Amino acid sequence: MAVKPTKAEKKQNYDAKLCQLLDEFTQILVVNADNVGSNQLQSIRRGLRGDSIVLMGKNTMMKRSVRIHAEKTGNNAFLNLIPLLVGNVGLIFTKGDLKEVSEEVAKYKVLNIPTKINKGTVEIITPVELIKKGDKVGSSEAALLSKLAIRPFSYGLVVLSVYDNGSVFSPEVLDLTDDDLVAKFANGVAMVASLSLAISYPTLAAAPHMFVNAYKNVLALAVVTEYSFPEADKVKEYLKDPSKFAVAAPAAASGGAPAAAKEEAKKEEPEDDSDEDYGGMNLFGDD
């Protein structure tokens, strides 16, 4: 007959297991386990077998083990877990993709609305909308729901926080795509550039705009003074003779037209038919 471990031995075994998992895994999902039964928890454990391990326990024991292990290893990043161990929570240690594991956990929510079909009882065979959102529940509706044992709530593990190599963040971060990150980064760069230009403080984001603005200022100065440079000479030339603005574009567009017209005319030019015989008669007489 196997000897049951004592309470102290159970604590030691739990502490050893938690410390082993902390050393082996760098990614942890902190999940809320309110209203999750043991059978449902077993289903979640079976569904996550492979790269993930679910560990439940008392918060005080988990906090104590995490704190002592952080002191022993000198890894203070573990201490970021302690503020998250509040309420009925558990830990999912994983080596897989955090978003995929989080979605997998969400699949095991169970809708707790039991139905019974027995002989001699009323059988509901079609959907019935008994209560609408915002309606007041009367005594008749409450009695019917009570008799049918209908409890329209969904229970399951809910990811509250994510621990990844010492960093703690909200699970909503896992829903961000590469496009979202690029858009946010571009928006941040634009804000930095705008602020830099407003206060005339040079930054890498504002450098292209500053160079363009500086070139415009130098060009404007060259136009109103005798100072010049190759790029400014062309602008000055157009300002002296504004008609060139109108001539330059059409000339460039129609530059190949005459040559094309000549080529077309050449193609349409008839062949020399002077020696052709018409009905056996030479139009120019015989030699």
Query: pLDDT (tens digit, 9 = 90+) per residue, 234-251?
Result: 778 777 777 766 665 555
Give the pLDDT score at 285. Answer: 45
Statement to judge: residues 14 and 154 lie in one domain:
yes
Question: Coil, helix or strand for 243?
Answer: helix
Q: What is the CATH number of the domain that holds 147?
A: 3.30.70.1730
Which of 151, 175, 199 is the C-terminal boundary of a domain? Answer: 175
Whether 233 and 147 map to the same domain: the answer is no
DSSP state of 2: P
Give the pLDDT of residue 224.
82
- CB 91 within 8 Å of CB 55: yes
Domain of residue 235: give its range.
180-240
Q: Let me know whether 26 and 80 are in one domain.
A: yes
Q: Does residue 128 belong to any structural domain of this protein?
A: no
**Does 153 reside within a domain?**
yes
**pLDDT score of 72:** 92
Q: How many angstroms separate the CA atoms of 224 and 232, rounded?
A: 11
> Residue 77: inside a domain, yes or no?
yes
Count structural domains, the chain. Answer: 2
169 and 33 fall within a common domain: yes
pLDDT one-digit tens code per residue, 82-110: 999 998 899 999 998 888 888 878 766 65
* Residues 43 and 185 grouped into a single domain: no
Residue 157 covered by a domain: yes
93 shares its domain with 223: no
Residue at 99 is within a domain: yes
Let me know if residue 263 belongs to a domain.
no
Q: Are 150 and 89 within one domain?
A: yes
pLDDT of residue 63: 94
Q: Note whether 159 and 195 are same-domain residues.
A: no
The pTM score is 0.51
For residue 64, give both structure tokens.
């104590």
Q: Is 106 in the same domain as 217?
A: no
Each as own residue / partner, the long-range contacts of residues 123-132 (CB below 8 Å, 24 or more positions apart, any chain) are 124/148
Q: Are residues 77 and 201 in the same domain?
A: no
CA distances to 31, 50, 77, 83, 283 from 54, rounded to whole Å, are 10, 11, 20, 19, 110
Residue ranges of the chain with pLDDT lower than 50?
Answer: 111-118, 120, 122, 260-261, 265, 267, 272-287
The domain boundary residue, chosen from 126, 153, 175: 175
Q: Answer yes or no: do 167 and 109 share one domain.
A: yes
pLDDT at res. 60: 92
Same domain, 157 and 36: yes
Report the distance separating Cα 91 and Cα 130, nearest Å.
39
Distance CA 140, CA 122 (A): 16
Q: Tell me if 132 is assigned to some domain.
A: no
> What are the φ/ψ torsions at residue 31 (nearest 5 degrees)?
-120, 145
| Residue 280 belongs to a domain | no
